Amino acid sequence: MSTDPFSQDELRRYARHFSLADVGMEGQQTLREGRVLLVGAGGLGSPAALYLAAAGVGTLGIVDDDRVELSNLQRQIVHGTPDVGRPKVESAGARLAAVNPEVELHLHQTRLTSANAMEILGDYDLVVDGSDNFPTRYLVNDACVLLGMPWVYGAVLRWEGQVALFATPEGPCYRCLFREPPPPDTVPGCAEAGVMGVLPGIIGSLQALEAVKWLLGVGRSAAGRLLRFDGLQLTLREIHPRREADCPVCGDAPTIRELVDYEWFCTTGETRPAEAAAAEASASVREDSDGVDPEGLMTRLEGTDPPLLVDVREGWEWGAGNLSGHGAIHIPLGDMETRIDELPADRPILFYCQSGVRSARAMAVARRAGRARVSHLEGGFEGWERWRDESAKAEE
């Protein structure tokens, strides 16, 4: 990053920082030389990215493979209504460039995986994680520990949020506190349980603050502390995790020395080499493949043995739009166990939700109940709507 004297525009832009005794011109230069990667351009990544760009962090990277959906805009403030359907990294990049054109942006329009994490993260000094799933959090943690790089953790659900700084020298990592992921289906996601739109703004801003403090080397950080914010009661509590000597990643005798298959780990609680997942992905696909993309669904619906579509979203989501025109019925995921007998045993069944997470859970419930011919819509109703819009534009 540039070590040139600050321009007149920069002197005016960062005037309030220059006035701070803990920052000044030397600290601002440190920020200008900083390199921070944001994992996710969603609810947490939006405020974190905006404030890091505004603060003058010289290089910001964003990794995200998603596109902007209308349902994102209640909390993902870096995007706007005209951005719906646009890749999130493009939308966020345009907004950040408008906030501060002095910042160098690196946009990674891809999903962070065991195959690319070390290469992507290795170009930065610090990671701010705004992901919303356990596999990515464990992946970020392990990659950061292996690279000797700290990362700022954030999580939100309903009215509550958490912030911590993990993988600092002598400090705990995420696995020291959360050795194993919770059993599948026990922790609802934001799509099911909801999240107050303001909350990610608060937690994401705290993540940005921790990132700036770490780059500057000032203040008391969140290392060795997990802050828990309750927005409904307006309380802030903290617990003090310690580095565990037997931690499989950062402990005295680590057993995880390379990235593993995190989807498998968060499903089974067991570790296996990342290559196993890659091998499965390249293997031949079964006829009753779990995941079906929108185009594949349309092909099945037009075939001789169309599946019964089952919408597992909440009632208000069904009311906002559904596939009843293709014969879909509505059974919310929370009712699936008690209403499973409503599903035929002699017909293929395809579940769908908003993004593809709850439908995978519904599929597991159906299989336990003896339904063999089940699948789910990858990308959910949002993916279907996006594919339909793109197909209509292609025909114009």
**Residues recognised as catalytic:** 190, 353
Query: Which sign does the torsion angle of CA 203, 208, 209, 213 carry?
Result: positive
Instruction: Describe the strand order of the beta sheet including 308-311 as a list of residue ranges.
Output: 291-292, 374-377, 349-352, 308-311, 329-330
Please answer whether residues 114 and 262 qualify as being in contact, where contact means their C-beta atoms are separated by less than 8 angstroms.
Answer: yes
Give 127's strand partners. 37, 151
Query: Which sign does the torsion angle of CA 284, 287, 293, 295 carry?
Result: positive
DSSP, residue by residue, 52-65:
HHHHT-SEEEEE--
3-state percent breakdown (helix, strand, coil) of the chain, nearest 5: 40, 15, 40
DSSP, residue by residue, 290-319:
SEE-HHHHHHHHTSSSPPEEEE-S-HHHHH
- Cα separation, 160 vs 339, whole angstroms: 32
Quote the Cα angle for 348-358-228, to 5°.
170
Q: Which amino acid, one-letter code, is at 32?
A: R
Backbone torsions φ then ψ of 3, nearest 5 degrees: -110, 15
